Structure 1
C-alpha cells in the first residue's frame, strides 16, 4: 500500500488509551510523515492549542472527556482552533448529537466501532480540503467586505431576487447625505434623473456572467441637499449566499467635468477672439489698391469723384470696425457692408459689373445672424481673380435662403473660372502673392467650427458650359441658422 508522504500534524484528544492506540496505528499505516500530539482531557488540550506554534492539520476529538464534553466541549475547542478542521469521534449512543455537531462547526463525525484505515484517511483529507475552501471563501468575503466598506468611492450591492439594495457603504452615505436606511430604500431613479435611473436599474436586473467591473455610463445624481453630482457608474455581477447580486461603484467626476468645461470654454473664447481679430483684417491689397486709385483720380483732377470715393471708403471702414466688435451681425448689416464694398470695387475693374442680391421670402434678414465679413472674401475673390481678365460684362449674384433651419449663401460669378485665373497668375511676375483674404477666411471657418455648434461648411463649384468651357465659379456657404447676435 502506497503511503502519503506529505507531513501531517495531528492532535488526538482521547482519554481512552485503547482507542488512541488504534487511531495512531491507522494513521501510521497510510501516512509516512505524521506527527501526533495527544491530550486526554480538555485542560491539557486547551494548553496545547494555546501554546502550540506549529498549527495542526486536523483535530480528532472524543466527545466524552473527564473534565468536559458534548456541545460545550465542541464550542470551546472550535474557539481555540477555529482554522483547524475538527473530526468528532463518537460511540453509537451519541449519533444524534454527532449529527447536530456539524452545525456547531465540526467537519465530520466518525463512529468509533466503524473506523478503519481507509475511512479515517479519507475523512481527514476531506476535512482538510473542505476547511481550506471555507477559509479561502471567508478570506475572499473579508477582502470584498473590506474593499466595499473601506472604499473611498460610493458603493451599493443590489439583489436581483428582491430587486432592492441590500448593502451600501459609508462613502455613499457621506457623499449623498442620506442615512443608510434611506439609501437602501431608494432606487437610482430616485437618486438621479428618472429616465437615467430607469436605464441603470434595467442594467442591474440583467443576468450577466461578467465578473469584471463594466462601465455602465455617465449619470446625474442628486445629494439629499439637491446638489447635482456627475458620476460614472461601473458594476459587476457577484453571488452572495447563492443570490445573484450586482456590485455598483460610483465615481464622482463633477470636478473633472467642471475643469473640462472650463478648458473648453477658454478654448472657445480664444477661438472666438481669434475669429473676431481675423474678421477685422480686410485684404491689405484691396486697401492699398483702393487708395492708389483715389490718388490716380486726384492727380487727374477728378476731385469731386475722389472726395465721394474717399467718403464711401471711410464709411465702409467704419462698418468694418463696428462689425468686428461682435461675433455675429444681422444679415441686414452684412449685406449693407457688401453693397458698399462692391460699389467701391466696381471702380477698380474696366468691365461693367451687374450685381444682384436675392433673398428668399421666408428669410428675415434683420433677425437672422452671420459672422461679420464671412461673405466678403468670396466676393473679393470673384472681382479680383474672376473678372480681372474678362472681356465681357461681368455678373455677380448673391443668393440667400433658409431651409429647415439651414442657412445657405451662394456667391456666383460668370468670371474666367479658377483654372484660367490660376494659369494667369502663374504667368505673372507677382505670382508669389497669395489671396490673403481667402487664407484668413479659411482659418476663420476652422475657428467658427471650434467655438460654435453651427457646422459651417464651404463648397466651391467650378461651372462649365456644354462644351466644358469655364463659365465662372459658385461658392456655397451653409450653416445652422443663428437667431441671436451672441450665437
Structure 2
C-alpha cells in the first residue's frame, strides 16, 4: 500500500486504550508522517485544545468519556476546536444520536465495530477537504468567483431582494441534470419536496446577521431524471454586487443515508431474530409445565382423562408449530391458543377456574396482530403462582381493547398476589427467583421495541381491597396496533 506522505496532526479523544491503539495502527498503515495526540478525558482535551501551540488537522472524538458525554460533550469540543473538523467515534447503540450529532456540527461519524483502514482514511480526508472548502468560501469575495465555479460541490447564489437564483455552478448542472438556464429559472420548491422547498426558501429570504456557513438542514431533492437524492444544505450570507445574497452549497449524502438505513435494518433484523429465538425457548419450558399437568391423572390411573389430555396437548402443539415461524400472529390465533392452554391447565387445579375473555366493540381479531405467546406466560404465571387457595373459586380474565391506535391487553386474576406467593415459597424453603417464562418475556419486550416501532410496554399491578388484603394481580400490556398491512 502506498502511504500518504503529507504531514498530519491528529487528536484522538478516547479513553479506551484498545480502541486508541487500533485506530493509531490503522493510521500508520496509510500515513507516513502522522503525529497522534491522545486525550483520555474531557479535561485533558480542553487543556490540549486551549494550548495555542497545538494545531490539529482532525479531531476524533469518542461519544462517552469518564467526565463528559453526549450532546454536551460534542458542543463543548466543537467550541474548543474552532476550525478543526470533528469526527465522532460511536458504537451501534449510539447510531441514532450520532445521526443527530451531524446537525451539531460534526463532520462525520465512524462506527467503531466497522472501522477499516480505507474508511477511516477516506473519512479523515473528506473532513479536511470539506472544512477547507467551507473556510475558503468564507475567506474573501475576491476569490469567490473561482471557488464558486471550480468547486466540485453543487452551489447556488440566491438574491434575496429579487427572490431568484443569480448564479449556479457547473457541479450543480452535472449533479441535477438541468441546464444552467433551467436551474436559474427554478427554486428549491421545484427541485425538491414542495413543503420542504417552501421551508428552505423561507430560510433563504431571512436576513442573517451571522456571517459564515451554517447548516440549514437535510432535504430530498430530485434530479431531472426523477432520481431522488438526499442533500445537506449549508448557507452563507454574502454581499454581491451591492445586494444581500445567500451562497448555498449542497452535499450529497445519499450513500451515507443508505448506509445508515442498512445498519438500522440489520439491527432490527438481529433484534427480530433474537426475539424469535427467545420465543422458541418458551416452547420447551411451556411443554415441561404442561406435561406436569398430566401427572395427576396418570398417577390416579384415570386413563380416559389422560387420553383426553393428550389429545388436547396434541392440538396445542400443532398450534405452537403453526405459530413458531411467525413474528406476528392474529389475535384470533393467539386467543385460540390461550383457550386450548386453559382447557389443559385448569384440570390440574384443585379448585374450579372461571376464565373469560372480553373483546371491545369494533376490535377485529383476524386483522389485528400480536407476537405469538406474548400473553401465555402471564396466564401461566397466574395459574401456577396465584391460585394456591383451593377454598376460593379461581377467576382469570383477559380484556382486549383498542383506543387511538393503541392496543391494551389486561390479564387479571384473583389469586394470592405476588407478595403472598413469595412468602409461601419462603416458608417452603424455595429460593427467590423470577419465573423463567417471565424473564424470557421481558427480554422479548426489549427486543420487540428494538426491531419495531410499536412501543411495547408491560405494567404489573398488585391489587388490594379496602382492608389492604391482596385481591390478585393485573398485568397490562400495551402497544401500537399491528395490522395485516404492516406485516
TM-score under structure 1 normalisation?
0.68
Question: SS at the partner of 2:281?
Answer: coil
Matched, 1:429 2:424: no
What's the counterpart of residue 195 of structure 1? Answer: 195
Change (3 A) 1:409 1:435: same
Q: Output aligned runs, 1:139-150, within 5 Å.
A: 140-150=140-150
The 2-side partners of 1:431 and 1:256 are apart by: 52
What's the counterpart of residue 55 of structure 1? Answer: none
**1:361 Cα shift?**
2.2
- Unaligned 5+ runs, structure 1: 1-138
**1:285 Cα shift?**
5.0
What's the counterpart of residue 329 of structure 1? Answer: 329
The 2-side partners of 1:357 and 1:485 are apart by: 26
CA contact (8 A) 1:390 1:416 kept: no
Q: Output aligned runs, 1:313-328, within 5 Å.
A: 313-328=313-328
Matched, 1:169 2:169: yes
Question: SS at the partner of 1:235?
Answer: strand
Change (3 A) 1:234 1:428: farther
CA contact (8 A) 1:215 1:233 kept: yes
In the alignment of these two chains, the number of paired residues is 350
What's the counterpart of residue 291 of structure 1? Answer: 291
The 2-side partners of 1:434 and 1:244 are apart by: 69
What's the counterpart of residue 346 of structure 1? Answer: 346
The 1-side partners of 2:271 and 2:440 are apart by: 13
CA contact (8 A) 1:277 1:324 kept: no
What's the counterpart of residue 387 of structure 1? Answer: 387
The 2-side partners of 1:313 and 1:246 are apart by: 74
What's the counterpart of residue 158 of structure 1? Answer: 158
- Unaligned 5+ runs, structure 2: 1-138
Write the deviation string for residues 146-205 of structure 1: whole angstroms up to 9, x where unpaired.
332232221111111221111112211111111222211111111111111111111111
**1:296 Cα shift?**
4.6
* Pairwise CA RMSD: 2.0
The 2-side partners of 1:264 and 1:235 are apart by: 30
What's the counterpart of residue 256 of structure 2? Answer: 256
Change (3 A) 1:486 1:378: same
The 2-side partners of 1:344 and 1:229 are apart by: 58
What's the counterpart of residue 360 of structure 2? Answer: 360
Question: SS at the partner of 1:261?
Answer: helix
Superposition misfits of 4+ residues, deviation over 6 angstroms: none
What's the counterpart of residue 467 of structure 1? Answer: 467
Question: SS at the partner of 1:282?
Answer: helix
The 1-side partners of 2:390 and 2:143 are apart by: 85
Matched, 1:228 2:209: no
CA contact (8 A) 1:369 1:481 kept: yes
The 1-side partners of 2:194 and 2:288 are apart by: 64
What's the counterpart of residue 43 of structure 1? Answer: none
What's the counterpart of residue 277 of structure 2? Answer: 277
The 1-side partners of 2:243 and 2:444 are apart by: 60
Write the deviation string for residues 269-316 of structure 1: whole angstroms up to 9, x where unpaired.
222222222223336554334324424533432112112111211221
**1:485 Cα shift?**
7.1
**1:462 Cα shift?**
1.2
The 2-side partners of 1:263 and 1:302 are apart by: 58
What's the counterpart of residue 439 of structure 1? Answer: 439
The 1-side partners of 2:359 and 2:421 are apart by: 29
**1:479 Cα shift?**
1.6
**1:218 Cα shift?**
1.2
What's the counterpart of residue 268 of structure 2? Answer: 268
What's the counterpart of residue 104 of structure 2? Answer: none
What's the counterpart of residue 420 of structure 2? Answer: 420
Write the deviation string for residues 427-448 of structure 1: whole angstroms up to 9, x where unpaired.
4433154311111111111111
Question: SS at the partner of 1:412?
Answer: strand
What's the counterpart of residue 401 of structure 1? Answer: 401
**1:389 Cα shift?**
4.6
The 2-side partners of 1:431 and 1:390 are apart by: 23
Write the deviation string for residues 116-160 of structure 1: whole angstroms up to 9, x where unpaired.
xxxxxxxxxxxxxxxxxxxxxxx8234333332232221111111
**Segment of structure 1 superposing worse, 273-282 or 199-208:** 273-282
Change (3 A) 1:289 1:371: closer
CA contact (8 A) 1:377 1:438 kept: yes
Write the deviation string for residues 23-82 of structure 1: whole angstroms up to 9, x where unpaired.
xxxxxxxxxxxxxxxxxxxxxxxxxxxxxxxxxxxxxxxxxxxxxxxxxxxxxxxxxxxx
CA contact (8 A) 1:401 1:407 kept: yes
Larger radius of gyration: 1
What's the counterpart of residue 61 of structure 1? Answer: none
The 2-side partners of 1:361 and 1:241 are apart by: 69
Change (3 A) 1:447 1:142: same
CA contact (8 A) 1:328 1:486 kept: no
The 1-side partners of 2:422 and 2:150 are apart by: 72
Change (3 A) 1:222 1:293: closer
CA contact (8 A) 1:283 1:436 kept: no
